[in-house]
Amino acid sequence: MLKMKSTCETCAASLSDDAEAFICSYECTYCPTCTADHRVCPNCAGELVRRPRRTTGVAEIARRAPARLRRKIRGTGR
């Protein structure tokens, strides 16, 4: 699961799960303003792409999923 970091790594701006943000393949996270300044990740020089927005929590996903998937989402490993 994608780690949704809550702050920009450059300016420490607050980023909620549904806020616009940009990430690299290592999940370094930046706000739109800092992304415009960097254009690439300053940590790894990787491509910065728009981070998907999370609109539902794990509980909502589990409620919608079939029983066989619910076990994996909740972490039982079965």
| pLDDT tens-digit readout, 2-43 | 888 999 999 999 998 889 999 999 999 999 999 999 989 999
Any alpha helices (H) in 1-78, and if so which ranges? 32-38, 58-64, 67-73
Any alpha helices (H) in 20-57, and if so which ranges? 32-38
pLDDT band at 70 (very low <50, low <70, confident <90, very high): low
Mean pLDDT of the chain: 83
Question: For position 63, what pLDDT does the model report?
Answer: 75
Torsion of CA 11, 13, 31, 46, to 10 degrees: 50
Question: For position 4, what pLDDT does the model report?
Answer: 86
**Once rounded to an integer, what is the mean pLDDT over residues 55-68?**
70
Side-chain-facing half-sphere of 60: CA atoms under 13 Å: 4
| Distance between CA atoms of residues 48 and 38, nearest Å | 9
